[in-house]
Amino acid sequence: MSIKEEVFQLAKITHEAAADSARISMSLKTSILNDVAAKIKSHKENLQKENLKDVQSAKSVGLSEAMIDRLTLSDKVIAQTVEGLQEIAAFPDPVGEITGMWVRPNGMRVGKMRIPLGVVGIIYESRPNVTADAAALCLKAGNAVILRGGSEAYNSNLAIVNIFKETLKESGVNPNVLNLMPTTDREAITHLLKLEDFIDLIIPRGGEELIRFVSQNSRIPVIKHYKGVCHLYVDEFADQEMAVKIALNAKAQRPGVCNSLETMLVHEAIASEFLPRVSAEFNKAGVELRGCQAGKAIVEWMVPATEEDWFAEYLDLILAVKIVKDMDEAITHIARYGSLHTEAIVTKDYAASQRFLREVNSSTVIVNASTRMSDGYVFGLGAEIGISTTKIHAYGPMGVKDLTTTKFIVLGDGQIRE
Amino acid sequence: MSIKEEVFQLAKITHEAAADSARISMSLKTSILNDVAAKIKSHKENLQKENLKDVQSAKSVGLSEAMIDRLTLSDKVIAQTVEGLQEIAAFPDPVGEITGMWVRPNGMRVGKMRIPLGVVGIIYESRPNVTADAAALCLKAGNAVILRGGSEAYNSNLAIVNIFKETLKESGVNPNVLNLMPTTDREAITHLLKLEDFIDLIIPRGGEELIRFVSQNSRIPVIKHYKGVCHLYVDEFADQEMAVKIALNAKAQRPGVCNSLETMLVHEAIASEFLPRVSAEFNKAGVELRGCQAGKAIVEWMVPATEEDWFAEYLDLILAVKIVKDMDEAITHIARYGSLHTEAIVTKDYAASQRFLREVNSSTVIVNASTRMSDGYVFGLGAEIGISTTKIHAYGPMGVKDLTTTKFIVLGDGQIRE
């Protein structure tokens, strides 16, 4: 069988299973997800053994430390995955929810009912814990799902998918509601993206190059984010101690992820006091600062920033720093160089906080907290299926409800059109 | 200037105006839309004069009666347009609405705030009243908009857009928040569809061929519906008098529109009583019936239906009729031949009504009312910008809220990621 035919058959059986997936009762979904969580916990050693194969080959081909960090199923990552699954299991089931109902002058009642999307395809790289999150969220929303993880995590992904399939079978559910692409060949993705009759939505997660590739080759709707060039604006009326803590956390707590900080904008009125203070902490944390000219005049060890630095998603211990005249300049800078991911302000001023919330239209806008908080799990969505910087359908961290749609329902008693 | 350059410039100035559009205050938006409504009313004769030019050339090139019906700005259509604009004006402004806010264990408040999409492109055919509805809905949602109407309605569309632009100018708003494509050349659409940096969403309205063309050539997200193959299922426990009225209305009240009925499914237990009764009425109304074999055994003047009839969107006084064994067969038939637009059941049975609502996943599912009720205006959305049969972002009649998205907002007091 050719790769094209193999992918076609996989998509076809998954599409056929979507009706089964939509019909799993609320209580059975909950118990399946709890069973999977329990099995991931009890099969931890086996999972880590499979994961070690992936980590070792990643090391042997010289993948970056950030990549290996994403790939590793550490005890902590597994514990978070289990907790995430249990949280999704305990979450209200979105399917069938009536999200509103109103009466029209002719007595007809019109409402909206939440239904699954159908088949969701997730194309991702590195992190094998995405496999569990994505599968659980899609199943909770009543969808069937096709997963295509990165080649570097194939053993880990397969081990996780097998736990799901085993549990589905034990629960009397068609295990084809969840399928892992049998090959990590990129050609296979190209074929998958043409099957708009079988797949309703594609969510790519990973590097910019992968996402552009998916986006340009897909006939299926794609929800994506290219990159996270997140900003922190330290306002004239900031609590500077809080601003230091937030800046440090946003940049250095885990620099390799998309919600880490890439550019800090500082109001000129506090720059001469705040910059020396925060830069001393960044220096201790091993963060390289790339500053504008005015900033370098205050903290001279900063590397001079170039135009490219304002666009950069470093994903590393590097931070661009710019002094701005006022909030107008901050908002304009964010609109010009930002990626619509996450922006934060630190301020004690009410009007400044409200204006920033209103006028910055990135997918997540934060007052007085770290950009690292921009995450489906932290926001209480259970686990996130991705972060959308496309405004259509979902914008920001996507949880289980974003994997459904609503249909209109009408309850009449003989109404006709005049 | 080449067409490509002209389209590029138009999209660029509209994109630049999007920030102005997002900033128009709620009360100013309301008064602009009410002013436009008043002007359309007072300029009715001038509008109809412009419209007559279009209608006359349509007649001279021999367009079908259904097309001319869609093109004509009759007194009734203008009155509906005015009413639609006033209803949209009076509608709650969606922008800035907080659609939910919750507290996380760390004390951080997380919410969602509704914001405009940015620039919306509407590509449509025939009906010039779409121009007013589309412009009003896009502006109410805080978007800038590019309209591309059909060449057959160019004079009517231009007259309506000029009323908007004049009102915007009088209100001190940048009139570039609304632009009509200066040419109806199809090449211009191709260029427009590549400008994903300037346009956030494309909504095509019109024939299947236009929609496929847009869909296949767009790099911008597209919300579409190809056709409306709407079904009425007359259940075993139907109120037959109601079923006759609904069937007649759904098929014959205005056959040229997408929510008109194309296939009627009748439960076999009542077929011998119901079919003669309803067919007599259809006969009087001049509707040709194309029936399955079992149906023809009851009403012999029906034309024999072929496999293509079950897929057909006639948009004419023709109806496919099929007798089904039970609701299973009806649901399976709809899933196989339907277009995800609108399906209705007539029944007095509670369980049958609930099952139909739950298991039919078309974008509108109706109990005991005509498929012709499936319409944004009838549903109370003000006016509809289109009907989506794509499950992503919006599904079914789309109103003003569907032209917005939501961003996450976070109110913290120093929270960082552990």
For the segment B36-63, what is each residue's pLDDT rounded down to a tens digit?
Answer: 999 999 999 999 999 999 999 999 999 8
d(CA B311, CA B195): 35
**Which residues in chain B are closer than 8 Å to A113, comparing Cβ atoms?**
357
Q: What is the mean pLDDT of residues A192-196?
A: 93
| Pick from B32, B344, B71, B413: nearest CA to A416 | B344
Q: What is the pLDDT of residue B67?
A: 85
CA distance B1 to B23: 32
pLDDT band at A216 (very low <50, low <70, confident <90, very high): confident
CATH 3.40.309.10 domain residues, chain A? 230-378
Name the burial class of residue B272, with classes exposed (0-12), middle (13-18) and buried (19+) by CB atoms within 10 angstroms of its CB.
middle
Beta bridge partners of A119: A144
Using the beta-carbon criterion (under 8 Å), do B369 and A406 form an inter-chain contact?
no
**Mean pLDDT along residues A79-106:** 94
Residue in B108, B249, B361 nearest the CB of A373: B108
CB nearest B410 (choices: A373, A390, A405): A373
Given this model, what pLDDT does residue A215 score? Answer: 86
Q: What is the pLDDT of residue A166?
A: 97
Is the per-residue pLDDT at A322 higher than 90? yes
Are residues B408 and A397, on separate chains, in Cβ contact within 8 Å? yes
Residues from chain B contacting residue A253 (CB–CB below 8 Å): 416-417
Are B189 and B87 within 8 A, CB to CB? Answer: no
Kindly state the tokens that stand for A408. 């209109």
Band the pLDDT of B381: cuts 50, 70, 90: confident
Positions of CATH 3.40.605.10 in chain A? 3-224+390-410
In this prediction, residue A318 carries a pLDDT of 98
Give the pLDDT confidence score for residue A382 in this predicted structure: 73
Pull the structure tokens for residue A55.
Answer: 């980590």
Residue A71 makes CB contacts below 8 A (sequence gap 6+) with A51, A54, A55, A58, A63, A126, A127, A128, A152, A153, A156
- Residue in B373, B396, B415 nearest the CB of A370: B415
Average pLDDT over residues A102-123: 97
* pLDDT tens by residue, A17-63: 998 999 899 999 999 999 999 999 999 999 999 999 999 999 999 98
Q: How far is A28 from chain B (nearest CA, A)?
A: 18
Of the pLDDT bands very low, low, confident and very high (cuts 50, 70, 90), residue A316 is: very high
The confidence score (pLDDT) of residue A40 equals: 97
* Whether A396 contacts chain B with CB within 8 A: yes
| pLDDT for the residue numbered A383 | 72
Residue of A nearest to B219 (CA): A216
Q: Does A409 touch chain B (CB under 8 A)?
A: yes
By the CB < 8 Å criterion, does B348 face chain A?
A: no
Pairing between β-strand B404-415 and β-strand B109-116 as defined by DSSP bridges: antiparallel
How far is it, in rounded angstroms, from Cα A46 to Cα B174?
Answer: 64
Q: How far apart are CA A169 and CA A165, in angstroms?
A: 6
Highest mean predicted confidence (pLDDT) among A77-86, A242-251, B82-91:
A242-251
Q: Is the predicted pLDDT of residue A86 greater than 80, yes or no?
A: yes
Residue range B28-37: mean pLDDT, rounded: 97
Q: Which residues of chain B neighbour A108 with C-beta distances below 8 Å?
A: 369, 373, 378
Q: Which residues numbered 353-372 in B keep a CB inside 8 Å of some CB on A?
A: 353, 357-358, 361-370, 372
A190 touches B: beta carbon within 8 Å: no
Cβ pair A120, A203 in contact under 8 A? yes
Query: CB-based contact (8 Å) between A317 and chain B?
Result: no
Please write the tens of the pLDDT for every residue from B195-213.
988 999 999 988 888 888 9
**A373, B200: Cβ pair inside 8 Å?**
no
pLDDT at A218: 87
Contacts of A118 in chain B (CB under 8 A): 391
At B294 the pLDDT is 98
pLDDT exceeds 80 at position B137 = yes
The answer to whether residue B200 neighbours chain A at the CB level (below 8 Å) is yes
Let me know if domain B230-378 sits in CATH 3.40.50.300. no
Reported ipTM: 0.90
Predicted pLDDT at A74:
95
CB contact under 8 A, B416 and A96: no
Query: In angstroms, what separates the C-alpha of A218 from chain B's closest C-alpha?
Result: 10
Cα–Cα dist A61/B177, whole Å: 53
Indicate whether A299 pLDDT > 80: yes
- Render pLDDT for A346-405 as a digit per residue (tens, 0 to 9): 999 999 999 999 999 999 999 999 999 999 989 988 778 889 999 999 999 998 999 999
Q: How many CB atoms lie within 10 A of CB A257?
A: 16
User: Which residues make Cβ contacts (< 8 Å) with residue A320, sequence separation at least 6?
Assistant: A262, A263, A264, A289, A290, A291, A305, A309, A310, A312
Of chain B, the percentage scoring pLDDT greater than 70 comes to: 100
> How many Cβ contacts (< 8 angstroms) between chains A and B?
191
- Tell whether the model's pLDDT for residue A150 goes beyond 80: yes
Query: Where are the extended beta strands (E) located within B161-283?
Result: 178-180, 201-205, 230-234, 261-267
By CA distance, what is A115's nearest residue in B?
B361
pLDDT at site B366: 98
Tokens 């720059």 identify what position?
A: A271
For position B206, what pLDDT does the model report? 81
Alpha helices in A285-371 (DSSP H): 293-298, 307-311, 327-337, 350-359
Q: Is A253 on the interface with B (CB under 8 A)?
A: yes
Kindly list the distances between the CA atom of residue A147 and the CA atoms of A24, A80, A115, A256, B328, in Å, as whole numbers in the listed order.
Answer: 20, 20, 21, 23, 32
B228 at A interface, C-beta within 8 A:
no
Distance CA(B178)–CA(B164), nearest Å, equals 8
The reported pTM is 0.89
Determine the pLDDT at residue A410: 98
Distant-in-sequence, close-in-space partners of B65: CB < 8 Å, separation ≥ 6: none
Residue pair A104/A117 in contact by the 8 Å Cβ criterion: no
Residue type, B156: S
**CA pair distance B199, B223, nearest whole angstrom:** 13
Interface residue of A391, A403, A406, A418 to substitute, partner B, most B CBs within 10 Å:
A391
Q: Which residue has the tokens 């908007």?
A: B164
Q: Do B380 and A200 touch (CB under 8 A)?
A: no
Task: State the Cα–Cα distance between residues A329 and A263, nearest whole angstrom.
Answer: 14
**Interface membership of B277 toward A (CB under 8 Å):** no
Cross-chain CB nearest to A373 (options B239, B365, B415): B415
Residue B383, pLDDT above cutoff 80: no
Q: Which residues of A touch B414 (CB under 8 A)?
A: 239, 242, 245-246, 368-369
Mean pLDDT of chain A: 95
Say what the pLDDT of residue B89 is.
94
- Binned at pLDDT 50, 70 and 90, residue A214 comes out as very high
In the predicted structure, residue B350 carries a pLDDT above the cut 80: yes
Structure tokens at B26: 């709620």
pLDDT at residue number B217: 87
Chain B (112-151) residues lying within 8 Å, Cβ to Cβ, of chain A: 113, 115, 117-118
pLDDT score of A205: 87
- Could you tell me the pLDDT band of residue B377, with boundaries at 50, 70 and 90? confident
- Find the mean pLDDT for residues A278-292: 98
Give the closest-approach CA distance of B60 to chain A in angstroms.
31
pLDDT of residue B218: 87
Q: What's residue A207's pLDDT?
A: 81
Which pLDDT belongs to residue A268? 98
Give pLDDT tens digits for B275-334: 999 999 999 999 999 999 999 999 999 999 999 999 999 999 999 999 999 999 999 999
Smallest Cβ–Cβ distance between B395 and the set A366, A367, A405 belongs to A405
CATH topology of domain A3-224+390-410: Aldehyde Dehydrogenase; Chain A, domain 1 (3.40.605)
pLDDT-based confidence at residue B27 (cuts at 50, 70, 90) = very high
* CB contact B389 to A (< 8 Å): no
> Is beta strand A230-234 parallel, antiparallel or unpaired with respect to B261-267?
unpaired
Distance CA B57, CA B64 (A): 12
Are A407 and B390 an interchain contact pair (Cβ–Cβ within 8 Å)? no
> Is A368 in contact with B411 (Cβ distance < 8 A)?
yes
B202, B261, B378: which to substitute to probe chain A, counting the most A Cβ within 10 Å? B378
Confirm or reject contact between B399 and chain A (CB < 8 A).
no
The yes-or-no verdict on residue B107 having pLDDT over 90 is yes
Pick the residue from chain A with its C-alpha nearest to B212: A219
Nearest residue in chain B measured CA to CA from A23? B359
**Residue B242 CA: distances (Å) to CA of B88, B97, B298:** 33, 41, 21
Chain B positions touching A249 (Cβ under 8 A) are: 416-417
pLDDT of B216 > 90? The answer is: no
Across the interface, which of A115, A221, A391 has its CB nearest the CB of B200? A391
Computed over every residue of chain B, the mean pLDDT equals 95
Q: How far is A253 from chain B (nearest CA, A)?
A: 8
Q: Measured between beta carbons, which residues in chain A are less than 8 angstroms from residue B239? A: 414
Q: Which residue of A has its CA nearest to B106?
A: A378
Q: Which range is least confidently modeled, A25-39, A267-281, B183-197?
A: B183-197
Phi, psi of B147 (to 5 degrees): -105, 135
Q: Is the CB of B110 inside 8 Å of chain A's CB atoms? A: yes
Mutate to test the interface with B, among A332, A410, A411, A413 (most CBs of B within 10 A): A410
